[in-house]
A and B are shown apart, each in its own frame.
Chain A
Amino acid sequence: MSGPNENPIIYADASKCVGCKQCELACSQVHSGYTLTKAKASQYQLVSRIHVVRVDGVNVPMQCRQCEDAPCAHACPTGAIYQDDGIVKINENRCVGCKVCVMACPFGAIEVVKEGIIEDGRTNQGVAKKCNLCAHQIDDEGQFHCGCVEACPTGALSLVTITDYRRRLMLARAREASHPTSIYKG
């Protein structure tokens, strides 16, 4: 139902999140191609683009919302952040790790950090990292395969297109409106 450039998002149902952080483990592995075991053995620094936080007794998985008019993209002084096919992407080669995007993001979804084997050098090689909906895993049919969504053992995470999501909401509210149960009816 979605148009070619429509922005899919990861939908997190906090009521189903048990806080196991399997999404964090999967995210870091899918993006690096390193398994946990291999990463530990080779001192490869894994980075997760999703973080489960606990507030007021509820677990909430948080990651990039793929904003349509992304403040991070506007703020980036090197033009490293841009929107492409509905996904807000980072060109890591252009990123200098200035953290302006971190400050611009209202969700705290961007982290500046080195992913991989840290080499000695003049800098710590940190660059901006955030969820890109596992763009590297989109299959030939255009289907998304997000590491976190596929790993979640309780189905708390799912990939939705906003049109489908809105349509479902509209149908649900329309169904309520079509049945005269409102207290405002005589």
Chain B
Amino acid sequence: MPQKVSIDKSMDLLVPLAKKEGIETPWDRYEKMQPQCGFGELGVCCRICWKGPCRIDPFGKGPDRGICGATADVIVARNFIRMQAAGAAAHSEHGRHIALAMEHLGKHGLEAYSIKDETKLMSIAKTLGLETDGRSTQEIALEVALTSLQDYMNQDSSTGCIWLTKTLPAKRLEKLKSLGVMPHNIDAIITNIMGRTHVGCEADHVNLLMGGMRGALADYTGMVLATELSDAMFGTPQPVVTKANLGVLKENAVNIALHGHNPLLSEVICDMAIKLNDEAIAAGAPEGINVVGVCCTGNEIMLRRGIPLATNYLSQDIALLTGAIDSMVVDVQCIMPSIASVGSCFHTEIITTVPDNKITGARHVEFSEEDALEKAKEIVQLSIEAFKRRDPARVNIPNVKETAIVGFSKESIVAALSKVNAEDPLKPLIDAIVSGDIKGVALFAGCNNTRVKHDDSFMTIVKELLAKNVLVLATGCGAGAFAKNGMMTQEAARKYCGESLLGVLTAVGTAAGLKGPLPPVLHMGSCVDNSRAVQVASALANALDVDLSDLPVVASAPEMMSEKAVSIGSWAVALGFPTHIGIVPQITGAPGVVKVLTEDAKKLFGGYFIPEPDPMAAAGKLYEAIMEKRQGLGI
């Protein structure tokens, strides 16, 4: 374990407090878990059938294949693509949920929901090639929803998924088609991965990995539709100034922490919190209700509503140590079951809401779009009741919060650029890249992981790249790390950006009315919103008439852990981006798999994985990858 577990200053107060209170933190659990099984770390443990578990001897003296005869390459490839499938499943369930809600909205209306951003809905309809003239918003929403749901239903494998084919440049689509990795149906592709990895099926690691790449592209499809439909229903993010880190909790307010991923829940609770504010005041909270975000729900409501972000993934249960969170309301993905036990040490209501995501020890208030208002009211009232039980003597809110300018959707970036050049908004960005004022673009994404110091790798790499004039985008818990640690302020732009990058950020920021530079890290949203970065890259590629893989664009997930991150990293590779991962992936026991993902992928897709746990070395490799792409473009 690292000497200091986190660079997040809130942890300096709360981790020792946890020790004093005898409450376990993820770092305590990590320490207890040491050493972690080396076979698992190498990926060479196969539990796919009950003849196993089988495992390959990494020293070459014991078994070199499983009982069925599967080699290390086959075992690792199967395990890896099952992770890609699980990641795709998670994102696509999120997308399906939103598409179904939009379908219901279009069919018979939903009390709690509306199309808040009609402009976005029209733009989606145009992207999907749907007729809009003379049709009502509701009719268009219904057709958008039904068209999106086709990506879960199409059985014609010669036709690619609609959202994928309508949002990527033609050159990339041709490439994906020629490699046989074009998904036609998200559900079918996930099923295909589960089927082909069953015992006694596919045993060729290269073909397995290509099947996994198709799964990762199905993941992209689910993500882009989730993001775009959410924008239509809840609004497309615009720049907004807010705060981040646990100092956003208020001693004199009912603090509701919204945690998870899907805006269908969080948006309605935000609305209800405004409505019931007086009830909170009457209950003895002079500042009313203070909604804060955790993890990617935090990012969703931060970008759309300017609601402050309390914390990111790894510090979610420690946030409860503040003793000031009256309820933590969760939906899906990346929710540590430990919040139930830590919550039980305090007055905090831990509330699960999704029928297939319950946690033993938490209260379950089942939420659905149909009775959203009623359930949101119940949840907010439970939070107010919990506030009355709060023990003021146990309140420890760290005095740590940073300003964060966030809200950089593709639309808001183009809008800001259009203030510089209204005719051709992308031109200033393209000119800056061509001239070298901006060397390239790096997208930071992914989670936190106890294997590395919390938030540290993000900060170390980003400072290196900014100094070298690389434009930085961020999503998910990476964006959370940057927001919490002060990388989304104008001061940070002046402090960390190289001269020419600062010049561009200042020109765009000033034109957009910010009276100074844009922040050095542009927060694009939750992890599902990584698709936004692809929209920007696709616009650039189309404007330059090149493929995505020609662009000086790289991705980095320095602290990744989830299967979703495995899937996102994989589609980033499939789209042509050199993709850094800061955690040694569970594939290194299979040299053939390592070669495909880190070398051969470069020839096939133009993108490839760069595993590098050392953040300084990673920064160097990412910059090199950018320079190599520039060389390819002759700029």
Give A contacts to B, CB under 8 Å.
16-21, 52-54, 59, 153-155
Contacts and interface: CB of A to CB of B under 8 A. Distances in A.
A18 B38 contact: yes
Interface in B45-78: 55, 57-59, 61-62
A153 B62 CA distance: 7
Contacts of B42: 18
Contacts of A16: 59
A155 B35 contact: no
Interface residue tally on B, bucketed by range: 10 to 19
Task: Give the top 8 A-B pairs by smallest Cβ distance, nearest first.
Answer: A18-B38, A19-B35, A54-B35, A54-B34, A59-B35, A20-B37, A19-B38, A20-B39
A153 B55 contact: yes
Contacts of B34: 19, 53-54
The B contact surface, by secondary structure, is loop
B62 A154 contact: yes
Nearest to A19: B35
B462 to A, nearest CB: 26
Per DSSP, are chain A's interface residues mostly helix, strand or loop, or mixed?
loop
B58 A53 contact: no
Nearest to B63: A153
B53 to A, nearest CB: 10
Nearest to A152: B62
Contacts of A154: 57-59, 61-62
Nearest to A15: B59
Contacts of A53: 34-35
Contacts of A21: 35, 37
A36 to B, nearest CB: 12
5 contacts: A18-B38, A18-B41, A20-B37, A21-B37, A155-B59
B435 interface: no
Given A19-B35, A153-B62, A154-B59, 20 more contacts: A16-B59, A18-B39, A18-B41, A19-B34, A19-B37, A19-B38, A19-B41, A20-B37, A20-B39, A52-B35, A53-B35, A54-B34, A54-B35, A59-B38, A153-B39, A153-B57, A154-B58, A154-B61, A154-B62, A155-B61
Nearest to A58: B35
Given A153-B55, A153-B57, A154-B57, A18 B37 contact: yes
Contact of A19 (B36, B55, B57, B59): B36
B432 to A, nearest CB: 43
Contacts of A153: 39, 55, 57, 62
B273 to A, nearest CB: 45
Contacts of A54: 34-35
Contacts of B61: 154-155
Contacts of B36: 19
Contacts of B62: 153-155
A155 B37 CA distance: 15
Contacts of A59: 35, 38
Nearest to B58: A18
Contacts of A17: 35, 38
Q: Which of A20, A52, A155 has the most CB of B within 10 A?
A: A20
A20 B38 contact: yes
Question: Which of B40, B58, B59 has most chain A Cβ within 10 Å?
Answer: B59
A93 to B, nearest CB: 33
A156 to B, nearest CB: 9
A59 B35 CA distance: 6
Nearest to B1: A54
A56 to B, nearest CB: 11
Q: Which of B36, B38, B39, B40 has the most CB of A within 10 A?
A: B38
B12 to A, nearest CB: 25
Contacts of A18: 37-39, 41-42, 58
A155 B34 CA distance: 20
A112 to B, nearest CB: 20
Nearest to A154: B59
A144 to B, nearest CB: 21
A170 to B, nearest CB: 26
A120 B62 CA distance: 45
A142 to B, nearest CB: 27
A19 B40 CA distance: 10
Nearest to B56: A153
B505 to A, nearest CB: 40
Contacts of A155: 59, 61-62
Interface string B18-46: 00000000000000001111111110000
A148 to B, nearest CB: 15
Interface string B492-503: 000000000000
A5 B67 CA distance: 42
A153 B59 CA distance: 10
A154 B35 CA distance: 15
B60 to A, nearest CB: 10
Nearest to A52: B35
A144 B112 CA distance: 73
**Max chain B C-beta neighbours (<10 A), residue from A17, A19, A21, A155:** A19
Contacts of B57: 153-154
A21 B58 CA distance: 15
Contacts of B58: 18, 154
A22 to B, nearest CB: 9
A54 B41 CA distance: 15
Contacts of B41: 18-19
A94 to B, nearest CB: 33
Nearest to A155: B61
Contacts of B38: 17-20, 59
A29 B40 CA distance: 22
Interface in B359-418: none
A63 to B, nearest CB: 15
A15 B12 CA distance: 35
Q: Which of A18, A20, A153 has the most CB of B within 10 A?
A: A18
A98 B437 CA distance: 72
A19 B39 CA distance: 8
A155 B62 CA distance: 9
A70 B477 CA distance: 53
> In this complex, which of B35, B36, B37, B62 has the most chain A Cβ atoms within 10 angstroms of its Cβ?
B35
Interface string B172-209: 00000000000000000000000000000000000000
A18 B58 CA distance: 9
Nearest to A153: B62
A124 B78 CA distance: 47
A19 B42 CA distance: 11
A154 B56 CA distance: 10
B72 to A, nearest CB: 14
Contacts of B40: 20
Interface in B485-539: none
Nearest to B44: A18
Contacts of B35: 17, 19, 21, 52-54, 59
Nearest to B59: A154
Contacts of B55: 20, 153
A163 B509 CA distance: 77
Contacts of B59: 16, 154-155
A175 to B, nearest CB: 24
Nearest to B34: A54
Nearest to B40: A20
Nearest to B36: A19
Nearest to A61: B35
